[in-house]
Amino acid sequence: MSVTTDLRFAVPDGGEVSGLFVRPAKARWLLVLAHGAGAGMRHAFLETLARELAVTGLATFRFQFPYMEQRRRFPDPPPTLMATVRAAVRTAVEAAPELPLLAGGKSLGGRMTSLASAQQPLESVRGLVFFGFPLHPPNRPGTKRADHLTAIGVPMLFLQGTRDRFAELELLRPICDKLSSQVKLHVVGTADHSFHVLRSSGRTDPEVVRELAQTVASWAQTTC
């Protein structure tokens, strides 16, 4: 059984945004979970992921970036997005100071969390989790978006699908290998950027989300 609490917090130069704190009865960790570029914190994938994470003992704090809160089409500039991540982390610390803290997100949310962490370590955060790290735009392979990862001093978990057009595994795998022994890449067969899997895989999307949650829980328990 989980308890969901609505929270609001201020973002420097971004106004006030909303968040959702989902805490299972026997929470062991708290993951600050940022949404992707095109969908907010109530997107079906994040809703399902939060429920599955709760089953494993991970509480989650999802939140809106200012542009999504204000129903604007295009994402805020990176400084505003990173400031939002920092403010969300502070809010999570205040909401559950006794829980070990992780941070990350889906696609853009994960990347902005990593940029913020590379710029300055995030308060109390012991590890970063990326659900579909956007290494490059679709059909424009490159690794420049990974340059800042070498400045991050906490363990990192990358969860990527083999059909993710935002991150060719031939590029991402060697990056993870070179970063440090505290970096793990978990690959999901036939999954795309949204973690939809092909019917031929013999698996369903809910089963994949359950795998993601269990992988995060296991990684947190043994690494952070």
In the prediction, which pLDDT does 128 show? 98
Give CA–CA dist 94/97, Å, rounded: 6
CATH code, 27: 3.40.50.1820
* Cross-strand pairs, 160: 187
pLDDT, tens digit (0-9, with 9 covering 90-100), for 90-102: 999 999 999 999 9
Q: Is 165 left (phi over 0), alpha (psi -120 to 50) or beta?
A: alpha
Distances (CA, A) of 116 to 26, 29, 164, 196: 30, 21, 24, 28
Amino acid letter at 132? G
Distances (CA, A) of 148 to 106, 118, 207: 18, 6, 33
Q: How many structural domains is the chain composed of?
A: 1
pTM score of the predicted model:
0.97
pLDDT, tens digit (0-9, with 9 covering 90-100), for 82-137: 999 999 999 999 999 999 999 999 999 999 999 999 999 999 999 999 999 999 99
pLDDT, tens digit (0-9, with 9 covering 90-100), for 16-72: 999 999 999 999 999 999 999 999 999 999 999 999 999 999 999 999 999 999 999
Neighbours of 54 (CB within 10 A): 22
Which pair of structure tokens corresponds to residue 169?
């595994």
Element (H, E) at 133: none
Question: What residue numbers bound the domain in which 198 lies?
Answer: 2-223
